[in-house]
Structure 1
Amino acid sequence: MSRAKDLVLPSMNLIIMKSSPILRQLRMEEKLLRSTSENWCIINDGTSDPTIVMGVSGKVQELVNVESVMGDGIPVIRRFSGGGTVIVDGGTVFVSLICNKGAVPGLQPYPRSIMDWTGELYGRVFGGFGDFHLRENDYAFGSRKFGGNAQSITKDRWIHHTSFLWDYDVKNMGYLKQPTRAPKYRLERHHMEFLCRMKDYFPCRSTFIERTIAALSSHFSVTLIENKTIIDPSNTKHATSTKLLTKQELEATLSSLHENPTVQQVLL
């Protein structure tokens, strides 16, 4: 009887979306992290429009080419979790894991421990489809990054979310500045030398999604939840810290850069 108990897996709710706006996704994740006690996996296959997403402490003037972003009307979001800055679009596949601290036996609720566990999880997903590595806080094939991660840890729960570059538009990468803080393995490479596309290593997006669900099923009893049954993330009691930067905020940043051209040169 005790042996049967050991085989009982914790439950995980699975939400699969297609081209949902990344702002809606992030607000949904923040609500599920802070307002529920269940384990969740959210998969969003692409997002509707090119959008820049920064970590909670990211500085626009250091990370974004503000003038070109404003000129082309690219939205900029500050999410509730840490991590770096990415530009996402229809070529990005998002996978987010929201878990209770005791959901994975032996997993310590610390960033490195969570990162190592997800690295093993995705190692099974990508097994046989490229030279997969967890490099510092990134997922990479060889020495080129294709998955960027961010985390947030609360008292009883944690979230680990990833933007996977199935494909990307070279032009969009020009909206991002070369970060002043970067992983050592980047070796000061520019975006095009540092990044790679999943589609060059993996057969199709649906196969990736199927293998991700299969890998999760070795740790959780996964139940698909209809997206329409999830309460609107805007209707929530907790204070959301995920926000779309206003035109006024971007204009203020641009003005400060113009007033301090020497600072702008250093950042560029």
Structure 2
Amino acid sequence: MQLLDLTLPTPEENLALDEALLEEAEQATSPVELLRLWEPDDPLVVIGRASKLHEEVDVETCQARGISVLRRASGGASVVTGRGCLMYAVVLSYELHPELAALDACHRYVMGRIQSALVREVPEVDFQGTCDLTLNGRKFSGNSLRCKRSHLIYHGTLLYDFDLSLIHTLLRTPPRMPDYRQQRPHRSFVTNVPIARDILRRNLIEAWQVQENTKTWPEAMTAKLVAEKYTNPQWTSMR
């Protein structure tokens, strides 16, 4: 497993890079496994591949505050990220992990790894719903995945020192909720996990048994995706 610790200058580039990492792995002649860590400086709303923009996001408030709203290539519902929210993405190979072709097994594998890394610091961290990490029943990590022929990317958020008021300000009540949420609004459902950023990073790196750092990333493919998709308003507003 390689580590790419890289935050690009714009939100469009950061979302495009995750997709480009998956596409690059698909084109490789041997299995690729990589952990990427990044953290945006400014608030950002990211909607799922199949999300209905105006159903999940208060678009007018985002526009008034100058907050970008972008659509990612993976599924799941909308999230708010920014400073105080560590983002991770892990590219995994089906050749090395054939059991991950079953989605339930994939969720258990990735969430189990991350949960095990965090309970060393906060024993109450739990895995609930399909792919949420929680603390005392309140969510601090939302996750999603995208599967291709030979690889998948699993990525998500880890709230550790985030302005939680942004979530209920920028997002509407989600159209689908896990049972454990019990219809709670964002204000009483999300929380930060009390783990310092450096410790959070270190534990994730250890959990994925990173063997080496890399500075190499698919620059041309990222730029192409930014130009064709992530700066294209039709991609964001297509549903």
Under a length normalisation based on structure 2, what TM-score does the superposition of the two structures give?
A: 0.86
2:117 maps to what in 1? 125
The superposition leaves residues 99-156 of structure 1 with CA deviations (integer Å, 9 ceiling, x where unpaired) of 111223x633132111101122012211231312110120111211000001001111
User: In the aligned structure 1, how far is the partner of 2:78 from the partner of 2:231?
Assistant: 14
User: In the aligned structure 2, how far is the partner of 1:184 from the partner of 1:241?
Assistant: 38
Stretches of 4+ aligned residues off by more than 3 angstroms: 18-22, 233-236, 238-242, 244-247
Q: Are the aligned partners of 1:26 and 1:242 in contact in 2 as well (CA < 8 Å)?
A: no
The superposition leaves residues 23-71 of structure 1 with CA deviations (integer Å, 9 ceiling, x where unpaired) of 3222112112112332111011x20221100000100111011221121
Q: 1:70-219 counterparts in 2 under 5 A?
A: 70-104=63-97, 107-128=99-120, 129-136=122-129, 137-173=131-167, 174-199=169-194, 202=195, 204-217=196-209
User: In the aligned structure 1, how far is the partner of 2:57 from the partner of 2:40?
Assistant: 20
Q: 1:185 to 1:72 in 2, by over 3 A?
A: same
Matching residue's letter, 2:65:
D
Matching residue's letter, 2:108:
D
Q: 1:239 to 1:155 in 2, by over 3 A?
A: farther
SS in 2 for 1:43: strand
User: In the aligned structure 1, how far is the partner of 2:102 from the partner of 2:227?
Assistant: 23
Q: 1:213 to 1:56 in 2, by over 3 A?
A: same
Matching residue's letter, 1:123:
Q
User: In the aligned structure 2, how far is the partner of 1:97 from the partner of 1:240?
Assistant: 24
| Number of residue pairs aligned between Structure 1 and Structure 2 | 229
Q: Are the aligned partners of 1:82 and 1:150 in contact in 2 as well (CA < 8 Å)?
A: yes
User: In the aligned structure 1, how far is the partner of 2:187 from the partner of 2:193?
Assistant: 14
Matching residue's letter, 2:189:
F
Structure 2 gap segments, 5+ residues each = none
Q: 1:231 aligns with which of 214, 218, 232?
A: 218
Matching residue's letter, 1:140:
T
Query: Shift in Å at residue 231 of structure 1?
Result: 3.5
Matching residue's letter, 2:198:
S
User: In the aligned structure 1, how far is the partner of 2:161 from the partner of 2:68?
Assistant: 20
Query: Shift in Å at residue 19 of structure 1?
Result: 7.2
Q: 1:20 to 1:114 in 2, by over 3 A?
A: farther
The superposition leaves residues 213-242 of structure 1 with CA deviations (integer Å, 9 ceiling, x where unpaired) of 11111xxx521012xx32324345x79885
Q: 1:114 to 1:89 in 2, by over 3 A?
A: same
1:28 maps to what in 2? 17
For the pair shown, the structure with the greater C-alpha radius of gyration is: 1
User: In the aligned structure 2, how far is the partner of 1:19 from the partner of 1:234?
Assistant: 10
Matching residue's letter, 2:14:
Q
Q: 1:20 to 1:107 in 2, by over 3 A?
A: farther
Q: Are the aligned partners of 1:166 and 1:198 in contact in 2 as well (CA < 8 Å)?
A: yes
Under a length normalisation based on structure 1, what TM-score does the superposition of the two structures give?
A: 0.78
